[in-house]
Structure formats: structure tokens, C-alpha cells
Amino acid sequence: MSLPQSGDLQRLYETRTSSRWYRALLPPDPFLMNPRENIDAPLGRWNLYIGGAGTRVEGYINIDLFLLAGVDIVADAHRLPFRAGVFTRVECDAVLEHVACPEQVMREIQRVLAPGGFAHVVAPFCHPFHEYPRDYRRFTPDGLKQMSAGLEVVAEGWRTGPSATLSVFLLEYAKLLLPWRAWRAFAHGVLGWLLFPLRYLDLLLFRSPYAGRMGNHCYLWLRKPE
Ligand SMILES: C[S@@+](CC[C@H](N)C(=O)[O-])C[C@H]1O[C@@H](n2cnc3c(N)ncnc32)[C@H](O)[C@@H]1O
């Protein structure tokens, strides 16, 4: 697979770690995490975080395509450079939409997990296009389960709900109408502050059986049989 290594891509990653003063003015995230997402899945001696460029993840070996802050090993998730059965936990958060073959990545996660180990997989359903470094597809919980590669599904749900979807699309739509980068940044700031209270409605909507019609990101907890 040939990957773009342009300055644009580098800048995209840098914004994730930037600590510039104006970040203090940025609105809160339009997302509210589902409080029911976390389950009691302990970390072990070895745990794997896939795709954490720009993030320090305590307790995990962090692999990514790019050697940026926080990354321990440069590797492609399609071919994990580890022997079978070594990891107690594997975290794959917002990565599957960026890989050419998510089924192959799921098979690799299954392979490197230790028996009894847990994998936590999160993927977008209704979310704007975003390249890291590509953006190939979206997922439903059933679509994720279909790729679970023999792992048992122990929990599933929506990490971020319909209100998050509405806010992120309104923000993107407003920015589409504006020709200049500075205007887009301004609109993001103003609209972001106006829209962020919407996210609290997701606390109600997480309980609705229809939340999945326009859920933002879904999650699965998977366990490798003993
Ligand atoms: C949207 S970011 C996810 C970041 C992080 N999990 C989070 O939620 O903040 C996707 C990450 O996956 C990485 N990535 C994309 N394709 C990959 C692959 N084939 N193997 C390993 N990492 C990959 C990207 O470089 C990027 O850092």
C-alpha cells in the first residue's frame, strides 16, 4: 500500500498534539461518551494500542504507521509484528475506517490476543470524512460483529450518539460554505460553543432503541475464548 507522506498529513497529526495558546479558546467536544461503554476488562503485562500517533497511552505498546509522539513501534495493523497470544488487551479505536482491509486487521487482533484477553473496537457510523491517512468506510454494530474473527462479543453499544452526529455534521456543513480557512476556524469556534450543550441529549438517547439510526461511533468488547 502506498501512503501519502505530505506536509498536509504531517500538519493534520500535529494539530492532534498541538499545545498552542488558542486551543484554550476552542469549544468543548460535541461528543459525550456513553458512560456504559467501559467494562471490567483488566490490563495485563502486555497490551496493544493500535493507531495512537500523537497520544501517550500508559500501559500499552502503541503502534502506528507514523513515528510521531507516543508511538513505540511503526507497524501496519494488517501485519502485526508480534507472535500469537501475547496481549491481554487490544485497543483499536477509530482505526478500522482507515485501513484497506478491516477483516485482515480483525484477524490480526484475534491472533495476537491471549486466550481470555479482551479487544475493544470502536468505529464511526455517521461521521464526516476524515483521512488518517485515508478514509475508506463506515460501520454498524452488526458490520463490526460480522468481522469479529471468532472472538466472543461481550458488550456492544454506541460510544457517541445522535446528538454528536447532528453537531459534527452541522459544524462541517457550515465550514463547507466558507471559502477561507480563518472564517472556517471562526465558525468552528462560534458554532462549537453554541452547539456543544446538545451533546447532553445523548444521555437520554443512549437509552433509546433507535439511537443507532444516526449514532456517531459504535463499540464492541470482544473476548478470545480460553
Ligand atoms: C483517527 S486516528 C485514531 C486515533 C486514536 N485512536 C484516537 O481515538 O484518538 C487513526 C490512527 O490510525 C492510524 N492508522 C491508520 N491506518 C493504520 C494501519 N494500517 N496500521 C496502523 N495504524 C494505522 C493513523 O495513522 C492514525 O494515527
Cα–Cα distances (Å) from 168 to 32, 63, 128, 155, 191, in that order, read 12, 28, 7, 26, 10
Rounded-to-integer distance, Cα 3 and Cα 8, Å: 13
Which residues face 90 on adjacent strands?
48, 119
Domains of the chain as residue ranges with CATH: 6-28+36-161+211-223 (3.40.50.150)
Each residue's pLDDT tens digit, 30-55: 999 999 999 999 999 999 999 999 98
Rounded-to-integer distance, Cα 53 and Cα 13, Å: 8
Residue 65 beta carbon below 6 angstroms from any ligand 1 atom: yes
Q: What is the mean pLDDT of the chain?
A: 92
Q: What is the pLDDT of residue 2?
A: 44
186 pLDDT higher than 50: yes
All cell numbers assigned to 198: 446538545
Query: Which of 55, 64, 90 to mutate for ligand 1's pocket (most ligand atoms within 8 Å of CB)?
Result: 64
Residue 48 beta carbon below 6 angstroms from any ligand 1 atom: no
How much is the CA Rg of the chain, to the nearest whole Å? 18
Q: Strand 61-64 and strand 47-50: pairing?
A: parallel
- Rounded to an integer, the average pLDDT of 126-144 is 97
The whole model's pTM is what?
Answer: 0.91
